[in-house]
Structure 1
Amino acid sequence: MGLFTLVEDRPTPKAVYNWRVYTCAAIASFASCMIGYDSAFIGTTLALPSFVGEFGFAEMSKDHLALTKANIVSVYQAGAFFGSIFAYATSFYLGRKKSLWIFVTVFILGAGLMLGANTARGLGLIIGGRVLAGIGVGGASNMVPIYISELAPPAVRGRLVGIYEAGWQIGGLVGFWINYGISEHLAPSHTQWLIPFAVQLIPAGLLLFGSMWIRESPRWLLTKGRREEALKNLCWIRNLPADDLYLIEEVAAIDAGLEYERIHVGPGFWKPFAALRQKEVLWRFFLGGMLFLFQNGSGINAINYYSPTVFKSIGVQGTNTGFLTTGIFGVVKTVLTFIWLLFLIDKLGRRKLLMIGATGGSLCMWFIGAYIKLSNPAANTTNTKLSSGGIAAIFFFYLWTAFYTPSWNGVPWVINSEMFSQNTRSLGQASAAANNWFWNFIISRFTPQMFIKMDYGVYFFFASLMIFSVVFVYFFIPETKSIPLEAMNRLFEIKPVSKANKQVILELQESEEDFRHDAEGAGLSVEKTKDSRIENVVADV
């Protein structure tokens, strides 16, 4: 098999892999640009001399300053937690597209509010604006992976949902570098620190206008009985006519999945909550939450939000030097995200990436922690040049980035976007996103205090959690690569999980062969059988 060979559950027309589905995914992923930018720019902005001077950070005690920074950063995650839950309601009643409109508008209001902060008004507008912005990105983080997964052909679903992660990294890259650029070229002033806050509005505006062009999810429309509109949108997204066999089979599979869910879960806003009494449904919710616990337990958001603190602990000194080191971290993450997106996620699959990434990342964290324990670089305030051990620690930090980025950075979002059934997908994604933002909040809220109290132990803590995640993935997470959304129930029934993917793919291929064999055995051509299916499935078009 070649590098770009796609593993398909059934013969798929090339027209299905068209520009429309990629463009819809890209436009929706402007939401992740908003999220990525914020996660990157806020830590370095808080370290800008102009920001420090305007809000009196130099006069604060060490503990007071740590608490103030933690509050500025963490209220965003708190807002995102609630936004991800609110999105379940808007998604159920209004759909994926209109939900994006609502939450990007809330984000724009929050970002605009932050621009009004100054010395006289204090930090209140920034904190309030970050709460609103958090609600906006929390809702978007729920909606976008669902929307993309429901549009995506199975063979490239990981790649398409990966565009969401790529948007996150592109936003992060800009966020990591912007403060280095303005600190180099602008004198400290009110305008200097205001610029990075204002840049948040760019991806938000692009999403607001781009979402007017994208189409509503056909799967969501079918759940609401809007069949004609659903089939019209599906034809447009797949670039196929309504009577194409691939399209007929896809609609039939969705209908069968909806009927199964109607019997076992039931329609309605509250039915998915009732479905949590079924252990197989509750189990998937648990798996989704644990994936994000381990993602945040890797240490990524401690690094994202407090990168100057992290690099200072390794021995990097000077504001601009810290910004430059952070910027390189953003470049490494972005480049590796595109490698993951184009070559790895739909080739190696989800399980292997998670286990390899956690194993390698843990070893790197152990080394960094050991270096800090033995050398205590933070105590050396006279020599600004890194020692050979410090250079090695920086190397292992970037190596950790190389292990983490193609694995735990985006894979949990991909798995959560695809592993739930149609009637529980919105609630499942709301649960997953809420878990992400909850653990994100815990890390961002207490990281400054952790570095004060634990020092090098912070790195050992993250290293240990990454080792635990390998065991968790091996025993509990099946490979979802190339499995149609309607076959996820079957995938999670099979034990051991290491063999589930191959068995389901084999069953799907045998089912396709049986259908064609039965048609030919009955003296019917596949085209005639297709005509029969057209009458049953799309007679109302």
Structure 2
Amino acid sequence: MTLLALKEDRPTPKAVYNWRVYACAAVSSFASCMIGYDSAFIGTTLALPSFTKEFDFSSYDPDDLALLQANIVSVYQAGAFFGSLFAYCTSHFLGRRKSLFVFAAVFLLGAGIMLAASAERGLAPILAGRVLAGIGVGGASNMVPIYISELAPPAVRGRLVGIYELGWQIGGLVGFWINYGVNTTLAPTRSQWMIPFAVQLIPGGLLLIGVFWIKESPRWLFANGRREEAMKILCWIRNLEPTDQYILEEVKYIDRDIERFERDVGKGFWKPFLALKQPKVQWRFFLGGMLFLLQNGSGINAINYYSPTVFRSIGITGTNTGFLTTGVFGVVKTVLTVIWLLWLVDHVGRRRMLFIGAAGGSLCMWFIGAYIKVAGSGSFSSSSSGGLSGGGIAAMFFFYLWTAFYTPSWNGTPWVVNSEMFDQNTRSLGQASASANNWFWNFVVSRFTPQMFLKMSYGVYFFFASLMILSIGFVFYFVPETKSIPLESMDRLFEIKPVRKANKVLMAELGMQEVGAAGAEDGSVSTVDEKARGHLERTERV
């Protein structure tokens, strides 16, 4: 195999890798554009001179101002936490597509309310609007990875779910740069800070329009007894006829999976909750929550929401200089996300990227914290020059190097793993749990980051570095490689021990089944089975 070759679970017609499945993934990923933008723009908007003047930030003492900024940022995560849970209800009763419509509409309502804020009305519209926007993005963050993973052929599932992450980074890139643009080109008036808030309406509106074009998930339709509609959409997405062998096999796997879980778990809104009594289901819920705890423990959201504070701790001063540095951070993340999406996620694999990202990112965080400790630049003192010493330049280099390690690993990979590791009957509830965990830990980080920087200074970086080291051991011992595994085979993947060999063993088993079926057709079963068993034994030794 070449580096760019796809590892398939079974022979796959080229027609399956068509524009339709990519287009559905891209359109639904407008949701992640609005999530990424909202995560990125708020930190620098709070630092705009026009915004701080409008709401009289200078009258607050440092502790009260840190609390106010934390509340503005964190009510969004609180809303997203509940939105990700609400999505389980809408997904069960309405499906994936209509759920996206509902949450896009809620997001647009929240974004519109924020535009009513002013010096006379105060910050209440922004706080209320961010709660509603949070509900919208929380629900969308649950739905989009599930929707894409249920459409995707196994060999490119990571790439397609990665489009969701790419949308997040594109939204973030705009969010990081927009305040630099308005600060350098517009006078410091109310219009200056209103523009970043108004731009939220663009990705939300595009998602609302796009929902009318994309198709419902065939797996959801099969699970809800709408077989004729499901077959029609599945054939459209795969670009194959209903009689094609690939379609017949895929439908057989889906039916078998649905039948098994209706038998073992049962069908209905509450049945997946009853499935939580099973240790194997509890374990995957635990893994999903831990992946997002460790993702947020890397420090990424401290940087996303409070980038001016982070760069000031390194020694970057001056409003435009801080905005420019933040914008470059967004560019680096977006470029590396494209590389991750097109190659790394489906060729290097999930586990290996998580190892590399955690190890390299931890070393960078240790260096940045050590520099701040030695240089004493954690006081956040301002100067007009914005200049950096040689050590400060080195700290900036290691900050961007940390970005290079983190982005193609912990940034999007937890979303990919969570979107694919649950079975049909618990996938929606599992993704709701994973998304809620993401937003809960996101809330914790965003709520306490300002106070952490005030009290801990360089210790913040040591804290994040330590958590990244812990994540290496967690992934090695507990998280199997999910690359190229069909969704219907995930139960078997999590049964295989040791975890580090699970993917190779299961892929060999799937290959043995495929070869065995071919042998049964030409009468050479014994020879084929012997070769398949030999291949499996060699794989297990590896």
Could you say whether these structures have the same fold, taking a TM-score greater than 0.5 normalized by the shorter chain as the test? yes
| 1:153-302 to 2 correspondences below 5 Å | 153-302=153-302
The answer to whether the Cα contact below 8 Å between 2:50 and 2:189 also exists between their aligned partners in 1 is: yes
Q: Distance in 1 between matches of 2:485 and 2:261?
A: 18
Greater than 6 Å deviation, 4+ residue runs: none
The CA distance in 1 between the partners of 2:274 and 2:187, in whole Å, is: 58
Q: CA deviation at 1:264?
A: 1.4
Identity in percent: 73
Matched with 1:453 is 455
Deviation at 1:28, TM superposition (A): 0.3
Q: How does 1:70-469 map to 2 (within 5 A)?
A: 70-379=70-379, 381=382, 384-469=386-471
Out of 351-360 and 1-10, give the one that drifted further.
1-10
Once the two structures are TM-superposed, the CA of residue 516 in structure 1 deviates from its matched residue by: 1.3
> Is residue 473 from structure 1 mapped to residue 483 from structure 2 by the alignment?
no
- Aligned-pair distance for 1:116? 0.5
Counterpart in 1 of 2:39?
A: 39
Distance between the aligned counterparts of 1:108 and 1:522, measured in 2?
61
Letter matched to residue 398 of structure 2: F
Per the alignment, residue 57 of structure 1 pairs with: 57
Are the equivalent residues in 1 in contact too, given 2:321–2:386 (CA < 8 A)?
Answer: no
CA distance in 2 between partners of 1:13 and 1:461 (Å): 49
Deviation at 1:384? 3.5
Which residue of structure 1 lines up, in the alignment, with residue 488 of structure 2? 486
Rounded to whole Å, the distance in 2 between the matches of 1:104 and 1:269 is 23
TM-score, normalising length: structure 1? 0.96
Q: Deviations 1:182-205 (Å, cap 9, x if unpaired)?
A: 100001000000000000000111
Q: Is the 8 A contact 2:95 2:220 kept in 1?
A: yes
Cα deviation for residue 381 of structure 1 reads 4.6
Q: CA deviation at 1:291?
A: 0.1
- Are 1:512 and 2:514 an aligned pair? yes
Q: Deviations over 1:430-460 (max 9, x none)?
A: 0000000000000000000000111100000
Q: Equivalents in 2 of 1:372, 1:426: separation in Å?
A: 44
Cα displacement (A) at 1:4: 2.0
Q: Which runs of 5+ in 2 are unaligned?
A: 526-542
Report the Cα distance in structure 2 between the residues aligned to 1:144 and 1:384, rounded to whole angstroms.
Answer: 41
Question: Could you list the per-position Cα deviations for residues 56-115 of structure 1 after superposition, in whole angstroms to 9, with x for gaps in the alignment?
Answer: 101101001000000000000000000000000000000000000000000000000000
Secondary structure in structure 2 of the residue aligned to 1:33: helix
Query: How far is 1:378 from its partner?
Result: 4.2
Contact 2:378-2:457 within 8 A present in 1 as well: no
Secondary structure of the residue aligned to 1:368 is: helix
What is the DSSP-based 3-state SS (H/G/I as helix, E as strand, rest coil) of the residue aligned with 1:346?
helix
One-letter amino acid of the structure 1 residue matched with residue 204 of structure 2: A
Q: Distance in 2 between matches of 1:378 and 1:267?
A: 56
C-alpha distance in structure 1 between counterparts of 2:228 and 2:256, whole Å: 17
Deviation at 1:522, TM superposition (A): 9.1
Alpha-carbon deviations, 1:482-511, whole Å to 9, x = none? 000000000000011100000111111110
Aligned-partner residue type, residue 375 of structure 1: A
Q: How big is the shift at 1:412? A: 0.2
Give the aligned CA root-mean-square deviation in angstroms: 1.0
Whole-angstrom distance in 1 between the partners of 2:386 and 2:329: 20
SS of residue paired to 1:161: helix
Q: How many Å separate the matches in 2 of 1:41 and 1:103? A: 20
Equivalent position SS for 1:345: helix
Which amino acid in 2 is paired with 1:236? W
The match for 2:69 is 69
Structure 2 length-normalised TM: 0.96
Distance in structure 1 (CA, Å) of the matches to 2:440 and 2:502: 31
* Structure 1 residues 264-296: Cα deviation after superposition (integer angstroms, max 9, x where no partner): 111000011010000000000000000000000
Superposed CA offset, 1:326-371 (max 9, x none): 0000000000000000010000100000011000000000000000
Q: Aligned pairs, how many?
A: 523
The Cα shift of 1:24 comes to: 0.1
In structure 1, how many angstroms separate the alpha carbons of the residues matched to 2:22 and 2:54? 44
Q: Distance in 1 between matches of 2:99 and 2:378?
A: 47
Measure the CA separation in 2 of the matches of 1:309 and 1:10. 51
